Structure 1
């Protein structure tokens, strides 16, 4: 590692454009996409903003660490799926749940009732063809100007990236699971 001097002469650029709702995306093969989105939700909630979280893969009865925390804080989290596709007993049912889930998420986004709507794992029903990408894009474009939307999931379609304001790609460098260490509660859930 090369030691460097900390920056001391920083010129602060003040943006002059209007504030508006942003479309943010966390994608990539690295860990942290959902965790980052949940941190954003906590930040908004901490500022007294209305937040709603939809999880497109998690089942409605999921009780992971984030669910317990958000419940205690009064932040609504709604599981819309039936779990991981490789565990699904009926993939057509998984697709139907995604469509029903999008209807709920769409309504929340377009209602303008929320400052931030998190669409956790939305990329999966998009890349599986369960949701029409163009319809999702049009709905996101039609959202009220104050509504921020955060999308998470691997392999985000380029068309969605193209309309986003901020896109972060999580890059996998090293993962404990590949070294034979199992998932651990409080870290991976």
Structure 2
């Protein structure tokens, strides 16, 4: 073994030893409150990636979509066609707020989505719930933030994971969450006149 390889080997052994020691203290298991936010692409995509991961592990899921409306997205078509028993799929939104142009309807749709979300979270058969774009509903005060926080913190079953996606997550939600990821926008083709692409954005 040459000197460079030997140094690398020694370094990796030290890292592994430190990691093994650190992992001994990581014994707790719990259902997480997860937030995906930020201006960059990938918030919903990451949430649906978690759904597929849970399905692979035999963990029943539910998806409640706020805001987006009845788009025929790839993830919706895949889950409904191939995994209807493993993942329940609900659409409560009627489209983006600039499409509906009717606050009362948006508020009613969000309230219905939150009712469905509570039912799914409380169902002992469900292990993971994706609340897609709920952050938008919270941002525009279509839902009462404190009610959502109180429910997640006091009524969510201990081992149920809940993922909330959408831009501009409220600071109080970020503070309450166990895991928060902010997608940063670096570059997007929309700014250069390219419309949303099938398989990439829907």
Q: Give the match's secondary structure for 1:107.
A: helix
Q: 2:78 aligns with which of 69, 78, 82?
A: 69
CA–CA separation in structure 2 for the residues paired with 1:62 and 1:178: 22
The answer to which structure has the higher helix fraction is 2
CA–CA separation in structure 2 for the residues paired with 1:69 and 1:150: 20
Q: 2:190 aligns with which of 167, 177, 185?
A: 177
Query: Which residue in the other structure is 1:161 paired with?
Result: 174
Q: 1:56 aligns with which of 61, 66, 71?
A: 66
Is there any run of 5+ residues in structure 2 with no aligned partner, and where?
1-7
Q: CA deviation at 1:165?
A: 0.6
CA–CA separation in structure 2 for the residues paired with 1:152 and 1:132: 16
The count of residues paired between Structure 1 and Structure 2 equals: 184
Query: Which residue in the other structure is 2:3 paired with?
Result: none
Q: CA deviation at 1:91?
A: 2.2
| RMSD over equivalenced CA pairs, Å | 1.6
Larger radius of gyration: 2
Does the CA-based 8 Å contact 1:108-1:117 persist in structure 2? yes
CA–CA separation in structure 1 for the residues paired with 2:123 and 2:106: 26
Does the CA-based 8 Å contact 1:110-1:139 persist in structure 2? no
Query: Which residue in the other structure is 1:93 paired with?
Result: 105
Q: Give the match's secondary structure for 2:12.
A: coil
CA–CA separation in structure 2 for the residues paired with 1:187 and 1:62: 14
Q: 2:125 aligns with which of 106, 113, 121?
A: 113
Q: CA deviation at 1:151?
A: 0.6
Query: Which residue in the other structure is 1:31 paired with?
Result: 41
> What is the 5 A alignment of 1:122-137?
122-137=134-149
